[in-house]
Chains A and B, each alone.
Chain A
């Protein structure tokens, strides 16, 4: 059948162009979504918008123009997930990681973490993101760098 398929392709191509079907470069991790920052009253919320529900996410959040006022909390997309740790580098930055020892995945959309702030941030960066799916393979969530949109 393989031979026959090649014959058919040649006939279909007609002019002689041959599709390159032999190159197999390393496959990068798939990009499945993004993390964005928004502001709500008294907080900067990092929200997830993903086509895949990850099992683990880690990221660093840098807040400019406002002061991180306390410990972050897991949001609705990660409620009840029992592996949630954070480190506040200084009054502008914090790094967090979220997962669940019971293999309950993080939801595809919603608030991932909510960071209490004093003031109105002028810019938020969400960087150094790593994420993994339920089978332990890496997936890509895009980061964020800009003025966060204000939401109710």
Chain B
């Protein structure tokens, strides 16, 4: 097949997004593009359908900048600025290669997007960064008047100004004293990062007509940055929803700076409640929105390569179109949406010609060759979801939702914080709250205490937030993998309708509270709990959601597809306390007494269900749905009563329902189950010449994993070795009423005709597999050398039986020569695929290499475990290059471990292989292990405390952190946490 034809088919399949099937998005931060690209097979095999990556734009802090302190929005790692060409994550070429690889595997890519603020050169985003005022004259492509600035005059006291207060804040003037702690009335004192610029110093072309004589500036000598205001509001005026603006309620963020960054002045509110403006002119202040040629040196960023004058809104519109095309992104997560009025994002706002969301969708349609009349049906649309730390569902979130974006579901996130505490019978610990409002597929915005199921993107943790079980919010990390009920919460949000997020930091832990640590097992490292949930979601999270059992510690619901029947049964149980409510075999009890409840199910009697989580206790792995006729009346009565309770008193039971017994483990591990119909082999068979193709286990790259122990093995996945022609086979119990579709690298392979009109449309567009006895088969031929992803989906719809949908994937490496017997790959035949894309092998270490690089738990390190202070020398080597990696010790960023490439992700001077803290952010000083140094006095206090605990220094009760009268390990731990917070 020609490359061109292959690509065209790929696009057609990639863009197919069956309606009402949720995707699980892997939020993947703190990881270079090259590493992400190398692990793309794992992403696909795990069943993720999309990646959410950090802002791709150059940050003010260069390689140390996570990306939210945006510096130049047209620099994606291709301009030498802020001390680096590459961004924190790589070069533009690496970004584009990574996206191409993602698309080849059928993975959509969403970039985080900062559209409403800039930063230069402040590092206020990072702990320990200097509070340097941004220089408002040094923003690439922007001028001071693009930002929320107030005209002002110095009062004579250094740093103090009398500023003209905007009319929406009451007009008149206000005294600004950022240096003052005790704030007098009618004075602003909160902002530590205020910056001023003399109007006389501003180039004429950056001022409105009339320059300093413009009405907005007349009588003033300076511009000052709009002060950062507390979330509590200004002068007693609290944040308010958009519809309340103008009713005595200020909107503090739209006109203010964000944490030392500066909002871009793109407001264009056209209703009567805000700073009403006509196109191009703010009608309150009379100030024209400054318009000029902003990127004269980069004509390629303009449509038709022709630089034209723009105001800040037009500038941002041009940018997001350019960003969409340059990255080929499939969507964006929009940062801090409430710093920008909703009219900026949406269409149909009178007098406002810009629509940020629509530009994204139109670019997506244009790049994919798509004609899409509905940009908000999740079918063939770019993903757009905004961030707002608020639970204001009716006001703020609703108004932004109407612009066409979805919202990160913070209301649900806030609710989940308290739901999974076990043992409680009311209030926050009541998991039964999740059952509200007792069924249905879609609902009003307030549903589940959050957004409507398809209006929100659900998450339980992120780069900003720890998961719900974390007992203390501001710990340096979120205790990855050890938060009680993490898996339970993740299972809930992914199995309910709507899109959801799994947060991963590549296991590149940082010691900062930003970015927070993610799930260590997001890609199957260490354990496969999350991967199993994601796979179960892909196949089972279809259709509506209906309650089957509810109490304070347990919630059982089913997903049901209209017209096809039940798809999955989900069991959640959060009682993990040893309080007598658990039986002797570690089985959780429902209602406090019943370890083996009987519940109503929509799966037809006789359906064989299998647990997809691997958590089912012995006897519950595979279950057969019972006919109610064979169950005693007393048991049925109890089951129906529980069902009525779970549905708000409604006594309705599904027609042709069955009943089912099951058990679930006592938590906190494995206390959830996901059942779906059995009948399809759990894995693909790859056949060469009538025999199973040889495979090798590929050990993944797993980051530094400092916190969970370097002796814990990373995950492995099988990669089959095949010649250009081979067979893919899927055994099933029956092919009656079933079809199977196949793709290779998201395209229909040559020789297979596309399927259509498959049940639920789930396999439409995939290549048709033929039947062979009780199996589906497809002969593949002509595949190019290199790695390919084979994806198969089996769907069935038989009257009277449960519908079935199973998705299977396998990774194959097409080689010229295959040694079938040895099962060892032929390295000589390994090459890139025809498209010249980077294959993972260059970056993925095999098991042998990993063992060499990471000591196991019982190996005493070369220094014999001596504390670092002792300075024990490492193994000797050739003079000047002790690790024999070709880099002289004098310049080697890790002189004791071979690292020829000198990779240093955080740019702290300590190479990754030596760096215990490989993603350090914003630290001016790091120790020999690459971790931020504590102030000497703090470090000394910790040393002394430890000496007191062991008894070689007299106790100082002032260091008794928990006030229990003893100095012990608890005091040490708390002192460490406090020291980190003070750093």
Chain A residues proximal to chain B, CB less than 8 Å = 1-2, 4-5, 7-9, 11-14, 17, 19-24, 27, 52-58, 73-87, 95-97, 99-105, 107-111, 114, 130-138
B residues near A130, Cβ cutoff 8 Å:
968-970
- Are B858 and A58 in contact, CB atoms less than 8 angstroms apart? no
Q: CB within 8 Å of A: which residues of B?
A: 423, 425-426, 430, 432-433, 435-436, 470-472, 475-477, 479, 482, 511, 550-552, 577, 579-581, 590-594, 597, 634, 637-638, 641-642, 644-646, 648-649, 706-711, 855-861, 864-869, 916-917, 927, 929, 931-932, 934, 939, 942-943, 946-947, 949-952, 961-962, 968-970, 972-974, 976-977, 979-980
Give the Cβ gap from A21 to chain B, nearest Cβ, in Å: 5
- Given A82-B867, A136-B970, decide whether A8 and B642 contact each other with a Cβ distance below 8 A: yes
Which of the residues B592, B869, B974 comes within 8 Å of A9, measured between beta carbons?
B592
Residue of A nearest to B917 (CB): A102
Q: In the complex, A77 Cα to B858 Cα: how many Å?
A: 8
Minimum Cβ distance to chain A for residue B587 (Å): 15
CA distance in complex: A109, B709 (Å):
8
Neighbour of B860 across the interface among A76, A86, A136, A137, CB < 8 A: A76
Contact status B972-A103, CB under 8 Å: no
CA distance A136 to B711 in the complex (A): 24
10 A–B contacts from the bound complex (CB under 8 Å): A1-B432, A1-B433, A7-B645, A12-B594, A12-B638, A21-B552, A95-B951, A100-B976, A102-B917, A130-B970
**Cβ contact within 8 Å between B470 and A102:** no
**A85 to chain B: which residues have CB within 8 Å?**
943, 946-947, 949-950, 952
CB neighbours of A75 from chain B (8 A): 860, 865
- In the complex, the answer to whether A4 meets B649 with C-beta atoms within 8 Å is yes
CB-based contact A114/B860 at 8 Å: yes
- Chain B residue with Cβ nearest A2: B426
B950 touches A87 (CB 8 A): yes
Distance in angstroms between the alpha carbons of A11 and B598 in the assembled complex: 13
A1-B433, A74-B867 known; 4 new pairs, CB 8 Å cut-off, are: A58-B972, A82-B869, A99-B976, A135-B470
B706 and A104 contact, CB distance less than 8 A = yes
Q: Is the CB of A13 within 8 A of B641?
A: no
Q: Is the CB of B645 within 8 A of A87?
A: no
Q: Are A103 and B868 in contact (CB under 8 A)?
A: no
Residue of A nearest to B475 (CB): A135
Give the distance to chain B from A119, nearest Cβ to Cβ, in Å: 21
Q: Which residue of B lies closest to A135 (CB)?
A: B472
Partner of A11, one of B425, B637, B932: B637
| CB-based contact A13/B471 at 8 Å | no
Residues of A within 8 A of B482 (CB): 52-53, 133
Q: Which residues of B contact A111 (CB under 8 A)?
A: 857-858, 860, 865
B973 touches A99 (CB 8 A): yes
Contact: B970 with A53, CB < 8 Å?
no
CA–CA, A57 to B425, complex, Å? 35
A1-B550, A14-B638, A21-B425 known; A83-B943 Cβ under 8 A: yes
Q: How far is the CA of A39 from the CA of B388 in the complex (A)?
A: 57
- B593 contacts which chain A residues (CB < 8 A)? 12-13, 17, 19
Which residue of the partner chain, among A23, A101, A133, contacts B939 with CB atoms under 8 Å? A101
Bound-state CA distance A49–B644 (Å) is: 46
Given that A85-B950, A133-B479, A133-B973 are contacting pairs, would A74 and B865 also be in contact in the complex, using a CB cutoff of 8 Å?
A: yes
A32 CA to B929 CA, complexed, in Å: 29
Inter-subunit contact B861/A8 (CB<8 Å):
no
**Residue of A23, A56, A81, A101 with most partner-chain B CB within 10 A:** A101
* Chain A residues near B637 (CB-CB < 8 A): 11
A5 to B969, CA, bound (A): 43
A107 engages B857 (CB within 8 Å): yes
- Nearest B-chain residue to A110, judged by Cβ: B857
Residues of chain B within 8 A (CB-CB) of A136 are 472, 475, 961-962, 970, 973-974, 977
Q: How far is the CB of B71 from chain A (nearest CB, A)?
A: 29
Bound CA span A82–B122, Å = 32
Min C-beta distance of B966 to chain A, whole Å? 8
Q: Say yes or no: B634 contacts A57, CB within 8 Å.
A: no
What residue in chain A is nearest B483 (Cβ atoms)? A135
Q: Known interface pairs A101-B976, A130-B969. Does A135 touch B707 (Cβ–Cβ under 8 Å)?
A: no
| Smallest CB separation, A126 vs chain B (Å) | 14
Residue of B nearest to A99 (CB): B972
B432, B646, B868: the one within 8 Å of A82 (CB):
B868
CB pair B950 A58 closer than 8 Å: yes
Judge whether A57 and B969 touch: CB under 8 Å.
yes
B866 with A73: CB separation less than 8 A: yes
Q: Select one of A79, A99, A114, A137 contacting B471, CB under 8 A.
A: A137
In the bound complex, residues from chain A placing their C-beta under 8 Å from that of B868 are 80, 82
User: Could you tell me the distance between the alpha carbons of A87 and B709 in the complex, rounded to whole angstroms?
Assistant: 27
Cα–Cα distance between A79 and B867 once the two chains are bound (Å): 7
**In the complex, A20→B589 CA distance in Å?**
13
Determine the residue in chain B with the shortest Cβ distance to A25: B579
Closest to A96 in B: B950
Q: Are A99's CB and B946's CB within 8 A?
A: yes
Task: Given A5-B645, A82-B868, answer yes or no on A103-B858 (Cβ-Cβ < 8 Å).
Answer: no
With A14-B634, A19-B591 known as contacts, the answer to whether A95 contacts B950 (CB < 8 A) is: yes
Q: Does A101 lie within 8 Å of B865, measured CB to CB?
A: no
Most A CB contacts (10 A, CB to CB) among B476, B482, B634 go to B482
Do residues A11 and B641 form an inter-chain contact, with CB atoms below 8 A? yes
Q: Is the CB–CB distance between A53 and B942 below 8 Å?
A: no
Q: Which residues of B contact A102 (CB under 8 A)?
A: 511, 916-917, 927, 929, 931-932, 934, 980
Residues of A within 8 A of B858 (CB): 76, 110-111
Q: Which residue from A9, A78, A96, A99 sits with its C-beta under 8 Å from B551?
A: A9
- B973 contacts A9, CB within 8 Å? no
Q: Which residues of the other chain, B, contact A132 by a CB distance below 8 angstroms?
A: 969-970, 972-974
Give min CB distance, B65 to chain A, whole Å.
22
